[in-house]
Amino acid sequence: MTAADTPAIAVKDLSVVFGQGREAFQAVRGVSFQVREGETYGLVGESGSGKSTVLRAITGLAPVTGGRMEIFGQPLGHDRDAAFCRTVQMVFQDPYASLHPRRTIDATLSEPLIIHGIGDRQERAERVLKALADVGLGPEFRFRYPHQLSGGQRQRVAIARALMLEPKIVLLDEPTSALDVSIQAEVLNLLKRLKDEHGLTYVLVSHNLAVIAHMCERLAVMQHGRFVEEMTVEQLRAGTPREEYTRNLLDAARGYDREKAARFAAMEALEEE
């Protein structure tokens, strides 16, 4: 296998079990997938199906009980070292919870550089300003605190933080679902642009099939800790999934959109009266 064929992420037969004995709960069951370099790979499925746990297993935050994982061909052991952190970063759903409330944006963005011994004070300041500009925030944001930012701006800071170490892979766990609908598209388009500019590989978890269709090349559908089906975004768009569970998920999403559209139409009609 040549270097070009080596997947960015290879997961084989992954199992995750929380707790022990009678309390044991298997959250991920024999999950296998590969993500090519430069690809955006989606994970969808109902709440509790194990999507976040798969991402957390990759980052070493979940109790892996079986299987193998490789990042660019390097097997992952029990611990994640500094080289791993430089290669793989994660963005969480809730930008309110993921930023330290008493740290300035400058401190939050400088921290990974300090931990990894990168640059002197001057260089770090330059990289912080560059990172802010990259996510569409001006220098005036540098010494603000999280509570002085909107939800969308906070998520931009969380994305900037994930990119400080110039990773190759970013794991995105519902990166826009805590945001106002009007801001969601902005942040998704930002993620797309950053992916092209920095040559990133994404795994994107979302409940929202429209988000997955907009962002991903391939996706997996999860249910009860298993992969029910893996498909291309073309298959998703064409509405031709093989598995009944996936069809139901699609129908539910369409039904939801129709219901929402009908409600909006009804509201507009009322306003016009």
Residue 17 vs 125, nearer CB to ligand ATP? 17
Nearest Cα neighbor of 95 from 162, 48, 41 is 162
H/E stretch holding 130 reads helix 121-134
Which residues ranging from 184 to 223 are in contact with ligand ATP (CB under 6 A)? 207
Closest distance of CB 98 from ligand ATP, Å:
14
Residue 49 contacts ligand ATP per CB under 6 A: yes
Q: Which of 7, 9, 31, 52 binds Mg ion (CB under 5 A)?
A: 52
Residue 153 contacts Mg ion per CB under 5 A: no
25 binds, among Mg ion, ligand ATP, none (CB under 5 to 8 A by kind): ligand ATP
**Binding range to ligand ATP, per CB under 6 A, among 44-52, 113-121, 152-160, 186-194:** 44-52
2 binds, among ligand ATP, Mg ion, none (CB under 5 to 8 A by kind): none
Structure-token match 């500009």, residue found: 133
The DSSP bridge pattern shows strands 9-18 and 25-35 to be: antiparallel
Angle, helices 151-163/121-134, rounded to nearest 10 degrees:
130
**Binding range to Mg ion, per CB under 5 A, among 51-59, 137-145, 187-195, 248-256:** 51-59
**Binding range to Mg ion, per CB under 5 A, among 35-43, 48-56, 114-122, 226-234:** 48-56
Closest distance of CB 55 from Mg ion, Å:
8
Q: Is the dihedral of CA 149, 152, 153, 154 positive or negative?
A: positive
Closest distance of CB 14 from ligand ATP, Å:
12
What is the rounded CA–CA span in Å between residue 27 and residue 16?
6
Closest distance of CB 114 from Mg ion, Å:
30
Residue 97 contacts ligand ATP per CB under 6 A: no
Closest distance of CB 204 from Mg ion, Å:
12
136 — alpha (psi -120 to 50), left (phi > 0) or beta?
left
Residue 53 contacts ligand ATP per CB under 6 A: yes
Tokens of 83: 């080289």
256 binds, among ligand ATP, Mg ion, none (CB under 5 to 8 A by kind): none
Structure-token match 């079986």, residue found: 66
Buried b (16+ CB within 10 A) or exposed e, 24-51: eebbbbebebbbbbebbbbbbbeeebbb
How does DSSP assign 164-217, residue by residue? TT--SEEEEESTTTTS-HHHHHHHHHHHHHHHHHHT-EEEEE-S-HHHHHHH-S
Residues near ligand ATP, by CB under 6 A: 18-19, 25, 27, 45, 47-53, 207
